[in-house]
Structure 1
Amino acid sequence: MQNDLLHQANGESDIFGSHSCCTNERGDVCDTISPMSNIVFDENTVKVCQEATVLTHCVENVLSSVNKALTNDREECKLDKDDHISEYVACESIKMLETDKQTSLTCVKSCMPVCSSEGKPEQAPCGVNGCNIVTYQEKQSIPEVNQTGTTKKYGPVRGGRTVVYVHSDEYMQLCDAMIRVPGRACMVHRLIEAYGLLKYLCIVPPSKLTREEILKFHSEEYVDVLERLDRDGEEGYDEQAQRCGLGYDCPAEPGVYEYATSVAGATVTAAQCLMEGKCTVAINWFGGWHHAKKDQASGFCYVNDIVLGILKLREKYQRVLYIDLDLHHGDGVEDAFSATSKVFTLSFHKYSAGFFPGTGSVKDVGFGKGRFFSLNIPLLDGIQDQQFFSLFLRVVEKVREVFSPEAVVCQCGADGLAGDPMNSFNLTHLSLGRCVYSLLKWNVPLLLLGGGGYEHANTARCWTFITSIAAFKKLPEDIPDHQYFTEYGPSYELAVTAGYRKNLNTPEYLKDVCRKALGILQKTSKILAYNEVV
């Protein structure tokens, strides 16, 4: 059953289904011509030469699969149009497949393995944009992995990506001690470890930020309060601390400053790795605290590590796109960049009366030079995977077309998953996984962060699944035996079961949200066009 669900999430080889070149129903042909496009030739794969006939037939099978997918999608579009967002998103996959049909003709031919006279496989670079082929020569730069899971050097992992995973045991234990998500960090890391994903990642320890680095965003007064609380605990709590938002949501507890500087340091470390070209994807699952303001803690967030990470990326990249998938509006990040056109903030979140933080209307678009460079997608209770991803894809691809980001930061809050105590959306791990996979195909530096997620087992499932997508590694559906195995009952499977909360997101409502979002992006496009002329 899990394999069927994964195929629905794009049918990718190794991640969404092994050797699926003849059964692919979605996604880029270039990424799904297994076993060709991801073969690393060495002595263990010389046998590929003996299967040349099978591989030759695969060319015809790929094209046949694309034609079949096109036919199926056209029929699906007719049947399910009312279940999607009308003409805006119902048939988005048809456009992708039409393009990929022509791409596959070039890609399959140039990726075809050829046996030399000595019986050793040879391979020419594919040259097709987006193809994740790894040649024999490229294998030499794949990082060696030691017994602890760390790498001896940086280089492309299978699928053409190098993935940095910011982690240390000290950092994990520090995050586990925080009162709002106790034990979550260790639970996430242990599941990633249990699935054997660490050997596909470059593990980089985080660095703590200095006071001066924190002050690049936060006010001096606020940092003084955090330092005092870190030193004196509750004895240092006063009216000033209360004004800074340190109370019920953000308890003034000892160690808070060390925790905040460590989380922010981990996100900045990840950003630094991207800037230095050490990786194409960087992950800090213990970051993503998007509510903290310049001079105030908010919503469990003491320091806005996301803002500090984006400021670091801005030292190299002119245009940075921030995407927020958390159940809650990414208000702190939006506020920080609402007056600049250099950072585009895009948030998909629940928006209803009385729901924290109470911001994130589609009418909130920034101001000054940043007007129309903030975009909010307000959603209602009960949204489902297909609706969420369809809307995401339609909007985010238009943002890409208009804004042309040089780097992307994606906050993958998991509190919208079914089963979370927030009890709002009906999402599973597949919706967030498909969103991240679509961003990976852009081939721009990508920083992945955590965020909300208060049903720890489902959060660990989701972020482990996304880690496997980034590492181009398919996972078994059964949870491996490890320290937290019993927490994943009664199914003991990787899949998050979809919820049954009443869906208030009617096709008409989603169509209206999409129409307004695209209207805002038209204004963004006009501003950028005018700036180029000027």
Structure 2
Amino acid sequence: MAYSWADDDDQTLQHDSKTLKYMPLYELNSNFNQQYRPNVSYHYNEQVSHFHYGVRHPMKPFRLMLTDHLVIGYKLHEHMDLYKPRRATRSELLEFHSEDYIDFLSSITPDQSALKSYADTLAKFNIGDDCPVFDGMYDYASIYAGASLDATRKLINGQSDIAINWSGGLHHAKKFEPSGFCYVNDIVLSILNLLRYYPRVLYIDIDLHHGDGVQEAFYTTDRVLTCSFHKYDGKFFPATGNLDETGIGKGKNFAINVPLRDGVDDESYIRLFKSIMEPLINQFNPSVIVQQCGADSLGCDRLGRFNLNIKAHGECVNFIKSFGIPMLVVGGGGYTPRNVSRLWCYETSLLTNVKLNSKLPENLAFRNWFKPDYSLHPNLKGDNLQNQNDRKFLENLKITVLEQLRFLNGAPSCSMNEIPPDLQGFTKDDEEAFYEKLKEQDFNDKFIDGEARDKKIMKDEARIGELME
């Protein structure tokens, strides 16, 4: 095996400052020419990291800023198309969410006197400790949802093979209410947009928590297959995602759940994931894949109960990428910000076929957040969590899930006779400005063409010897 400095997690020798200054931050994968080489786009609006749920709340949007700093610090932006997406419009949010709920999100403020008068409404919309009212709540939701929708549009029009939005992946939000730190379900909105163009969508969720909001939204259709790997004991939030939740009606057997116990480790998780996903993809034959990469399934997460390291989590993303199917990749949970940013930076490198130096860049902003090791791959195995997923349990789990796949009867087909409108996602103001510009251009073209035509006629009718410029 060829040596690579990118594999040096623990170096015996310390480099001097001059060597560190000129050491490359990444190298292209050694099998780069033989591998799938997708066009990758990165969708990020920096304003999404400016919001704050509350001092004691585990959700920290500034983890997205740390992720972006790592991506830029490693110069991964050189391998992607970069987009600053607009916010989702009210009409786009209403494609899934109810009108009264969106009106509530856009009007409520954290002012204490106002909240008292809204007591009944807050209870109706499930506002509480998990989903508090904070300043800019509606703006925050529209920004991360807008980024996911922008990513789907780039997939639909062929500009991207893989589109990344780490600010998205908020999979718990329901049609009428927020849930589990999630206010707007950008994944459901994205899948609805993808269904306008793609016949079948596969949704994969490797968050610690069950992707209940997405499963619920597509529980009765065979055009979306949802597959979630998560912790389940009947009590752990959201207390859904058991094996018997398989879909109803036309969607029967198109909801797949893989409920795991505490402490699952790298080897067990990867083996189970690959043994299920390969036959599932071959059977369902998705046109596009949406993968939610919640980082709370890592070891040492503030709310986590799994024992995964960053490379193991990334291997699940890399495996799905290897099928060469268009992908929307989104974030999700993750409550230890420094490890969340490490993970999503690493998975960005996998999606772009780049191998990163395990030592973080010396000039990285906020580098002190990653001390004492300053490594992209710290040991995240928690000693206090034993793996309660023995081989027999995992084998029975795999057999049960694969048995469910037998009832899919091949990839479902659907009629796609009419090209859906508005695939570019222009707002009404954008369209009006665009048409005005076209009218102005058309008028100018006609004037210029008419002037040129008259000049040509004058040249043709000129008498011999006359000079016409």
- TM bucket, shorter chain: 0.7 to 0.9
In 1, are the aligned partners of 2:37 and 2:353 still within 8 Å (CA)? no
Give the whole-Å Cα distance in 2 for the aligned partners of 1:496 and 1:209: 36
Report Cα offsets for 1:465-513 as digits up to 9, x if no partner: 0000111111101011322111111211110314132000000000011
Partner of 1:128: none
Instruction: Map 1:130-145 to 2 at 5 A.
Output: 131-132=34-35
Q: Return the match for 1:487 from 369, 377, 384.
A: 369
Alignment TM-score, normalising by the size of structure 2: 0.78
* Number of equivalenced pairs: 391
Instruction: Map 1:346-365 to 2 at 5 A.
Output: 346-365=227-246
Give the whole-Å Cα distance in 2 for the aligned partners of 1:519 and 1:488: 44
Partner of 1:269: 150
Give the whole-Å Cα distance in 1 for the aligned partners of 2:113 and 2:38: 46
In 2, are the aligned partners of 1:164 and 1:281 still within 8 Å (CA)? yes
Instruction: Map 1:399-438 to 2 at 5 A.
Output: 399-438=280-319
Partner of 1:513: 397
Partner of 1:173: 50
Moved more, 197-206 or 304-313: 197-206
Q: Which amino acid aligns with 1:267?
A: S
1:192 partnered with 2:76: no
Give the whole-Å Cα distance in 2 for the aligned partners of 1:408 and 1:402: 14
Aligned CA distance change for structure 1 residues 275 and 232 (closer, same or farther; 3 Å): farther
Secondary structure class of the residue paired with 1:518: helix
Give the whole-Å Cα distance in 2 for the aligned partners of 1:284 and 1:504: 33
Q: Return the match for 1:502 from 383, 386, 404.
A: 386
Report Cα offsets for 1:107-153 as digits up to 9, x if no partner: xxxxxxxxxxxxxxxxxxxxxxxx43xxxxxxxxxxxxxxxxxxxxx
Partner of 2:199: 318
In 2, are the aligned partners of 1:414 and 1:452 still within 8 Å (CA)? yes
1:235 Cα deviation after fit: 1.3
Give the whole-Å Cα distance in 2 for the aligned partners of 1:457 and 1:479: 12
In 1, are the aligned partners of 2:49 and 2:62 still within 8 Å (CA)? no
1:445 partnered with 2:331: no
Q: Return the match for 1:161 from 32, 35, 38.
A: 38
1:339 partnered with 2:211: no
Secondary structure class of the residue paired with 1:474: strand
Instruction: Map 1:295-306 to 2 at 5 A.
Output: 295-306=176-187
In 2, are the aligned partners of 1:176 and 1:184 still within 8 Å (CA)? no
1:15 Cα deviation after fit: 12
In 1, are the aligned partners of 2:284 and 2:410 still within 8 Å (CA)? no
Aligned CA distance change for structure 1 residues 15 and 320 (closer, same or farther; 3 Å): farther
Give the whole-Å Cα distance in 2 for the aligned partners of 1:266 and 1:527: 30
1:246 Cα deviation after fit: 1.4
Report Cα offsets for 1:352-398 as digits up to 9, x if no partner: 14210000001110111111000000001111111111111111111
Give the whole-Å Cα distance in 2 for the aligned partners of 1:168 and 1:223: 21
1:174 Cα deviation after fit: 4.5
In 2, are the aligned partners of 1:418 and 1:428 still within 8 Å (CA)? yes
1:225 partnered with 2:104: yes
Q: Which amino acid aligns with 1:167?
A: Y
Give the whole-Å Cα distance in 2 for the aligned partners of 1:392 and 1:226: 37
In 2, are the aligned partners of 1:171 and 1:206 still within 8 Å (CA)? no
Report Cα offsets for 1:238-269 as digits up to 9, x if no partner: 31222111111110123111111111111000
Report Cα offsets for 1:400-425 as digits up to 9, x if no partner: 11100000000000001111112411
Give the whole-Å Cα distance in 2 for the aligned partners of 1:346 and 1:454: 23
Alignment TM-score, normalising by the size of structure 1: 0.69
Q: Which has the larger radius of gyration?
A: 2
1:522 partnered with 2:410: no
1:434 Cα deviation after fit: 0.9
Runs ≥4 in structure 1, deviation > 3 angstroms? 14-20, 174-179, 230-234, 526-529
1:439 Cα deviation after fit: 1.3
Q: Which amino acid aligns with 2:64?
A: A
Give the whole-Å Cα distance in 2 for the aligned partners of 1:18 and 1:304: 35
Aligned CA distance change for structure 1 residues 395 and 15 (closer, same or farther; 3 Å): farther
Q: Which amino acid aligns with 1:173?
A: H
Q: Return the match for 2:278 from 380, 392, 397.
A: 397
Aligned CA distance change for structure 1 residues 276 and 337 (closer, same or farther; 3 Å): same
